[in-house]
Amino acid sequence: MEEALRCGALSRVLTAFSREPGTPKTYVQDVLQAQLAEEVHRVLCESAGHMYVCGDVTMATEVLRTVQRILVQRTAMSVQQAGDFISELR
């Protein structure tokens, strides 16, 4: 990760630990909503960018719902339109 950051392949790395003992549970969708909502919107809707999420496939549904919710909140899209938009991106 450090090399990817140094060479510019990644702009930053954020972590969400849900199984770390002694640490409050933080999920990817929490980080997306709290820290990255504006950037998710900008990258997906305005910059034709990409979004990569590393983690267990079982979390994919909640991450998808969070991205959908962000698009609804930040655009004029309905829930259905946001879902269709995400489907096209996939």
pLDDT tens by residue, 15-68: 888 888 998 999 999 999 999 999 999 999 999 888 887 777 888 889 999 999
10, 20, 22, 32 from 66: Cα distances, Å: 22, 22, 26, 7
Which residues have CB under 8 Å from 65's CB, separation 6+? 29
pLDDT for the residue 18: 87
CA distance 35 to 39: 8
Full domain range(s) for residue 69: 1-89
Q: For 42, which DSSP code?
A: I
Return the CATH number at 56: 3.40.50.80
Single pTM value for the model: 0.82
Tell me the two tokens of residue 54. Answer: 């590393």
Q: How many domains does the chain have?
A: 1
The number of beta carbons lying within 10 Å of the beta carbon of residue 28 is 21
Tell me the two tokens of residue 88. Answer: 């096209």
